[in-house]
């Protein structure tokens, strides 16, 4: 009898412990739900129908591809503005790109691919240092090309773009929808799985960080091997960057930007006009803007006043000419174009110093 009761006591304790546990249904209810695949999204289904109608895609097969992806929270987070926005600083921005490790990497890249850079510069009219600078700023010569699944990232921005600015959200969503369309066309044209691409959170790919539409429109086979590979082939990246700038109106031999001085308040009207070159140096002088540069190319060329603001410091002003504007077609930011220009000039100067024989070498 005693033995029998001793066996019941542990059993009773177990029953009391089980009674404290939540019911099985509540445990299941608390379990995280798997993300809903994009194949179940109504907008996606409409998009698939459009791809079938416009481009002859197999709707069922494309829906199956969408079934393998879902919204990427990391992409939504990346595209959101910071909760505590920092005041834009040209000094800080420039320091990120015109710095020792990137300069050293750029000089090595230039030396390793000199022949291709020479050919690309000759064919496009774009100086070699600007090609090198852009690839350096975009991916540090292939070190940082992004690890997001490009198809999923573009789908996220096309169909789940977050509410940021009512004036621009619809346009941004449409832009990424167009890039998603371009990615699918690119994948079909190159017979590649659309799920195989990896790039930035915004869908940029390869050493030059081209969006899919830019790859289709501007990418070039730089070494004539019959294929374009911007992810592992520097020759293709070099030729493609040069072609992009050429096709957007690069002026061979033209100036990019020069320092400017301003006086009075007349220059504020020029800043409001934006970065498209509109006015001659003479017209700019009438608004209190001057430059020490006296080249006829500058005197007769339209320019725009560019302000590079650093909080707590005097604003740096430059005149941006046609080629400065062309660089902003790559990234529509005056900070970006100014950083490309400064890195290019630094690379050119440093290369000259490092390759010039010293007296002690004789």
Q: Any residues with CB less than 8 A from the CB of 157 and at least 6 apart, and which? A: 75, 79, 172, 173, 176, 202, 203
Sheet-wide strand order for 257-262: 289-290, 257-262, 316-320, 304-308
In what helix (H) or strand (E) does residue 307 lie, and over which residues does it extend? strand 304-308
Q: Does residue 29 surpass a pLDDT of 70?
A: no
Torsion angles phi and psi, residue 146, rounded to 5: 95, 150
pLDDT at residue 87, rounded to an integer: 74
Q: Rounded mean pLDDT of 141-155?
A: 97
Rounded-to-integer distance, Cα 221 and Cα 233, Å: 9
Could you tell me the CA-to-CA distances from 343 to 4, 56, 136, 318 in Å, in that order? 86, 45, 9, 16
Span 225-262, pLDDT tens digits = 999 999 999 999 999 999 999 999 999 999 999 999 99
Span 318-347, pLDDT tens digits = 999 999 999 999 999 999 999 999 999 999
Rounded-to-integer distance, Cα 125 and Cα 36, Å: 50
pLDDT at residue 86, rounded to an integer: 66
32 band by pLDDT with thresholds 50, 70 and 90: low
pLDDT at residue 222, rounded to an integer: 97
Pick from 350, 360, 362, 357: nearest CA to 108: 350
Token pair of 288 as six digits? 């209190």
In what helix (H) or strand (E) does residue 189 lie, and over which residues does it extend? helix 169-189
15 band by pLDDT with thresholds 50, 70 and 90: very low
Span 35-80, pLDDT tens digits = 899 999 999 999 999 999 999 999 999 999 999 999 999 999 999 9
Rounded-to-integer distance, Cα 289 and Cα 296, Å: 17
Could you tell me the CA-to-CA distances from 251 to 108, 120, 291 in Å, in that order? 27, 15, 21
More confident of the two residues 206 and 23: 206
Pick from 280, 330, 272: nearest CA to 302: 280
Rounded-to-integer distance, Cα 48 and Cα 39, Å: 9
Catalogue the active-site residues: 138
Looking at every residue in the chain, the average pLDDT score rounds to 90
pLDDT at residue 356, rounded to an integer: 62
Which pTM value belongs to this model? 0.87
Kindly state the percentage of the chain with pLDDT values over 70: 88
């Amino acid at each position: 009898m005693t033995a029998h009761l001793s066996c019941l006591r542990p059993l009773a304790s177990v029953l009391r412990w089980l009674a404290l546990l939540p019911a099985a249904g509540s445990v299941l209810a608390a379990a995280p739900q798997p993300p809903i695949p994009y194949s179940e999204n109504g907008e996606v289904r409409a998009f698939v129908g459009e791809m079938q109608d416009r481009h002859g895609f197999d709707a069922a097969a494309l829906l199956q591809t969408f079934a393998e992806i879902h919204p990427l929270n990391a992409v939504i987070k990346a595209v959101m503005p910071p909760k505590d926005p920092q005041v834009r600083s040209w000094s800080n921005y420039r320091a990120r790109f015109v710095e020792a490790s990137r300069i050293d990497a750029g000089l090595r890249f230039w030396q390793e691919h000199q022949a291709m850079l020479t050919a690309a510069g000759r064919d496009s009219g774009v100086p070699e240092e600007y090609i090198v600078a852009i690839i350096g700023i975009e991916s540090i010569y292939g070190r940082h090309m992004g690890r997001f699944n490009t198809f999923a990232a573009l789908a996220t921005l096309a169909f789940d773009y977050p509410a940021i600015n009512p004036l621009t959200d619809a346009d941004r969503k449409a832009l990424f929808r167009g890039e998603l369309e371009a990615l699918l066309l690119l994948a079909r044209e190159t017979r590649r799985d659309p799920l195989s691409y990896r790039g930035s959170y915004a869908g940029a790919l390869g050493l030059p960080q081209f969006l899919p539409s830019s790859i289709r429109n501007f990418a070039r086979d730089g070494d004539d091997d019959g294929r374009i590979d911007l992810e592992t082939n520097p020759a293709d990246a070099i030729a493609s960057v040069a072609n992009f700038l050429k096709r957007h109106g690069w002026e061979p031999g033209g100036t990019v930007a020069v320092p400017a001085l301003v006086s009075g308040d007349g220059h504020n009207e020029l800043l409001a006009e934006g970065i498209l070159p509109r006015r001659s140096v003479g017209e700019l002088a009438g608004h209190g803007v001057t430059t020490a540069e006296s080249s006829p190319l500058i005197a007769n060329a339209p320019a725009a006043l560019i302000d590079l603001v650093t909080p707590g410091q005097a604003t740096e002003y430059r005149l941006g000419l046609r080629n400065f504007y062309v660089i902003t077609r790559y990234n529509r930011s005056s900070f970006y174009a100014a950083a490309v220009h400064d890195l290019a000039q630094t690379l050119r100067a440093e290369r000259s110093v490092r390759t010039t024989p010293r007296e002690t070498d004789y």
